[in-house]
Amino acid sequence: MKAVIAHGEGDLRVEPVEPVVVSPDRVLVRVVYGGICGSDLHYAKEGRNGAYVIKTPLTLGHEVVGVVHDIGPAAETSLGVGAKVAIHPARPTPLPGGVHGAGFNLTPGGSYLGSASTDPHTQGGFVEFLEVTPEQLRELPDSLPLRRAALSEPLAVALHGIGRLGERVRGANVLVSGAGPIGCLAIIALRAAGAGRVVAADLQGLPLEVAREVGADDVVRLGAGERLEPGSFDVVVEAAGVVPSLVAALDAVRPGGSVLQLGMLPAGPLPIPMAGLIAKEVTLFGSQRFDVELDAAVALLAADPRAEAVITQVFGIDEAKEAFACAADSSRSSKVLINISEDPEK
């Protein structure tokens, strides 16, 4: 079987790996689709994702769906062989008493598929057969195609972020700054949370087309003569993870408004003019991965076929390098999937 493995900076390979025999308490999933995430791109290009540096070869991928292939004799699951599943990428290591009531996305020491945050690294899901615990499985409804279900994990991330804003979203005038995959999934989450008006801003044309398709009321193409009215949005969702986008967010939010930092910012000190945050009494929210939102993401994807517009390309596993190059180019792609093994629905 094959896997997509990052060996370090600029060194991504599709390589054969040893077949897996299922452990007694585990389930073996035949992975059908994997979505390429910004963190996968960072590992492939820079050999690191923020603070997490690749020390040994790392199979990438944490946005994966597939079908149950084999079940260990002691695995406690009601699912049968052939069931369609999304995989929860996290396996928390609960601390005694928990961490100040925080969700398990904030629990230190937990593992996440395809991440160098743990030592040894947690190998990811861009592999034909992946062994997981029964708790990591989420059965997909018949009405939800595997292909669309590959958006479950990033949509859960968006739902978690929008959930951080609580009641501030209902009826609000919202700007999504950065209309890449996570920005577009945030639009879907904002719609579900009852936002009043959603505007998407981006430098590129294609992300804004996708934003329209998933429910943005209006789009603003920055750098093309269009600009945002300062102080005009109740809520701004920063979804690009770049300094100019956060600067624009702080400028565009109204006095007393809120900014959600959903994009992953670079590590280290950043030049951000923060005085406006004080003068306008802006509330700034951070958001880390997700906690309990995966089931809600699956349900929302089943209910909203428009989400499919976020998937712009699907590559075979042997074309993984091309897939990564495409995913890194936001002028021609939104979410790029790797088709890892045969889709039973095709």
Residues in the chain, overall count: 346
Give the nearest distance from C-beta 212 to Zn ion in angstroms.
23
Name which of 205, 241, 44, 67 is nearest 145 in CA terms.
67
Q: Nearer to Zn ion by C-beta: 5 or 75?
A: 5
Enter the tokens of residue 177: 């700054």
- State in angstroms the smallest separation of the CB of 281 from Zn ion: 32
> Least distance from C-beta 29 to Zn ion, angstroms?
18
What are the DSSP calls for 13-63, one per residue? EEEE-PPPPPPTT-EEEEEEEEE--HHHHHHHHHSEETTEE--S-EE---E
Q: How far is the CB of 121 from Zn ion (least distance, A)?
A: 16
Nearer to Zn ion, 37 or 158 (CB): 37
- Measured from the CB atom, the residue of 37 and 252 that comes closer to Zn ion is 37
Q: Which two tokens stand for residue 57?
A: 């070869």
Which residue, 43 or 233, is less far from Zn ion as judged by CB?
43
Which stretch, 34-42, 187-195, 227-235, 263-271, contacts Zn ion (CB under 5 A)? 34-42
Q: Count of residues binding Zn ion (CB under 5 A)? A: 2
DSSP of 131-166: EE-GGGEEEPPTTS-HHHHTTHHHHHHHHHHHHHTG
Minimum distance, C-beta of residue 97 to Zn ion, in the bound complex (Å): 29
Radius of gyration of the chain (CA): 20
Q: Please say which residue, 66 or 154, places its beta carbon nearer to Zn ion.
A: 154
Query: Applying CB under 5 A, which part among 69-77, 149-157, 221-229, 308-316 lies near Zn ion?
Result: 149-157
Q: How far is the CB of 36 from Zn ion (least distance, A)?
A: 9
- Per CB under 5 A, which region of 92-100, 146-154, 164-172, 330-338 contacts Zn ion? 146-154
SS3 content of the chain, % helix, strand, coil (to 5): 30, 30, 40
Phi first, then psi, for residue 284 (nearest 5°) are: -110, 125
Q: Nearest CA to 340 among 125, 177, 100?
A: 125
Give the residue with the Cβ less far from Zn ion, 37 or 337. 37
Residues 151-170 that bind Zn ion (CB under 5 A): 154
Residue 146 in contact with residue 172, Cβ under 8 Å?
no
Closest CB 153 distance from Zn ion, rounded Å: 5
Return the residue of 37, 86, 176, 211 that touches Zn ion, per CB under 5 A.
Answer: 37
Q: Which residue is nearest to Zn ion (CB)?
A: 37
Q: How far apart are CA 66 and CA 136, in angstroms?
A: 12
- For Zn ion, which is the closer residue by CB, 124 or 257? 124
- Binding residues for Zn ion (CB under 5 A): 37, 154
